């Protein structure tokens, strides 16, 4: 069952192929909860240097990094001078089957 916790839930359309390894494809609709705390391993909507990404958040002894779920894209290590904002945790993805508009 899809639990929508308004007003903390919003929808965003995925773009690109960097998260195909976790089943998120270009054009998928993502259900994002901005009230949930971001945790290591969560798929998040992140804003960094004026760009918005869907990535897996990793936090460990080396710091914070954003990871794609496609081996063609390297991880992005977050530096102290980077302004990282987490806009929410991806809870669900809705995949369109058939022809795309």
Pairing type for strands 29-33 and 84-94 reads antiparallel
Q: Report d(CA 39, CA 18) in Å as an integer.
A: 20
Segment 15-47, tens digit of pLDDT:
999 999 999 999 999 999 999 999 999 999 999
pLDDT at 95: 87
Domain range annotation of the chain: 9-94
Please pick, among 15, 18, 40, 93, the residue that the annotation labels catalytic. Answer: 18
| Predicted confidence (pLDDT) at residue 99 exceeds the cutoff of 70 | no
Q: Identify the CATH assignment for 9-94 out of 2.40.30.170, 3.30.70.370, 2.40.50.100, 2.10.109.10.
A: 2.10.109.10
What CA–CA distances, in Å, run from 51 to 22, 83, 89, 98? Answer: 21, 11, 17, 29
Give me the phi and psi of 92, to 5 degrees please: -150, 155
* Nearest in space to 23 (alpha carbons), one of 10, 35, 14: 14
Active site residue 18: yes
Q: How confident is the model at residue 101 (pLDDT cuts 50, 70, 90)?
A: low
pLDDT at 4: 58
Q: Which one of 40, 55, 65, 68 is the catalytic residue?
A: 55
Report the pLDDT value the prediction gives residue 92, as an integer from 0 to 100.
94
Query: What was the pLDDT predicted at 79?
Result: 92
Reply yes or no on whether 68 is catalytic.
no
């Amino acid at each position: 069952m899809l639990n929508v916790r308004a007003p903390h839930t919003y929808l965003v359309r995925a773009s690109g192929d960097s998260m195909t390894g976790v089943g998120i494809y270009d054009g998928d609709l993502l259900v994002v909860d901005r009230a949930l705390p971001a945790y290591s391993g969560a798929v998040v909507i992140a804003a960094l240097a004026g760009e918005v990404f869907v990535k897996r958040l990793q936090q460990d002894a080396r710091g914070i990094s954003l990871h794609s779920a496609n081996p063609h894209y390297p991880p992005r290590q977050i530096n102290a001078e980077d302004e990282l904002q987490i806009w929410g945790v991806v809870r669900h993805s809705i995949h369109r089957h058939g022809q795309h508009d």
